Amino acid sequence: MSNTPIPPNNPPQHIAIIMDGNNRYGKAHALQAGAGHIKGKDALDPIVEHCLARGVKVLTVFAFSSENWARPQAEVDLLMRLLESTIHEQMPRMNKYQIRLRFIGDRSMLNSDLQALMADAENKTAHFDKMTLVIAISYGGQWDIAQACQKLAMQVQKGELAPSDVNANLIAENVELADLPDVDMLIRTGGEYRISNFLLWQSAYAELFFTETLWPDFGADELDKMIQDFGNRERRFGKTSEQVQNES
C-alpha cells in the first residue's frame, strides 16, 4: 500500500486506464513473444485493489480495442486466451472484495465461449456494490457512439421519437456505462500521448494523465501521485474559476 498522501476533497469516482506498453516491456526484458502481455495481466490486480482502498467507485481498463483485431493473428489469439484467464482469475477477487465486474464492447466479434464467460461473470457479480471493474474488450469510442445513435434511429423509425428529440442527453443515455459516473481521470501508460478511441463520450471532461511508465511497471505509488495531482486541479466544466470558487 502506498504512503503517498491523498487529498481529502474531490477524489476521482471513475478512473479509466489505457494499459499500454506490454510488448515494449517484453522486448526490453528479452522475454518470449507475448510474455509482456502476461506481465501486463498480472499488473492489473494490485491496481484494482488499490483503487478500492482509495474509494474509487469505477475502474475501467482498455484490454482490447476495436483496432486490435488488425494485429497478427497469433497475438490476437494470445490476448483472447489471456482475457479468458483474467476473467477466471478475477472472480475470486470480485467475490472477496464485493466488486462488480462488467464488460463493454462489440461482443459479436468474440467467440461464443468467451461471450458466455463474460455474461456469467456479470450475472454472478451484479449485486456487488463496493466498486465496479469494467473491462473494455473489442471496444472503440466511435463504435460506442455509433451504436447509441443506431438505437435512437430505430426509435425514430418506429415513431417513438422525433428527429428533433435526439440530443446529447439522449445519446448519453445510450452509450456504454450510461448508468455510471463519467470518467474523472483518464490515464495512459507507455509514453504515448493520445487516447486511441477510448471512452470518447464518457471522457469529455476527464483530466488526462500520461506517463512514460510501461503498463507492467505501473504501480500504486505512481497512481497515488496522479490522484493527488487530480485533487489539486480545478475542474470548471465550462464555468469560470470565479464561479467554481463561489460554488465551493
Which residues form the catalytic set?
20, 68
Per the annotation, does 246 bind a ligand? no
DSSP 32: P
Per the annotation, does 201 bind a ligand? no
Given a contact cutoff of 8 angstroms between Cβ atoms, the answer to whether 231 and 6 are in contact is yes
Measured CA to CA in angstroms, residue 106 lies from 11, 118, 187 at distances of 31, 12, 23
For CA atoms 140, 143, 147, 152, the dihedral sign is: positive
Per the annotation, does 23 bind a ligand? yes
State the Cα–Cα distance between residues 225 and 157, nearest whole angstrom.
49
Per the annotation, does 160 bind a ligand? no
Per the annotation, does 111 bind a ligand? no
Given a contact cutoff of 8 angstroms between Cβ atoms, the answer to whether 26 and 33 are in contact is yes
Per the annotation, does 20 bind a ligand? yes
Three-state DSSP class for 192?
A: coil
Per the annotation, does 67 bind a ligand? yes
Per the annotation, does 196 bind a ligand? yes
Per the annotation, does 22 bind a ligand? yes
Q: Where are the beta strands (DSSP E) in 32-89?
A: 58-65
Per the annotation, does 107 bind a ligand? no
Q: Beta-carbon neighbour count of residue 72 at 10 Å?
A: 9
Please give the grid coordinates belonging to residue 232: 489539486
Known binding-site positions for Mg(2+): 20, 207
Known binding-site positions for substrate: 21-24, 37, 65-67, 69, 71, 188, 194-196
Known binding-site positions: 20-24, 37, 65-67, 69, 71, 188, 194-196, 207
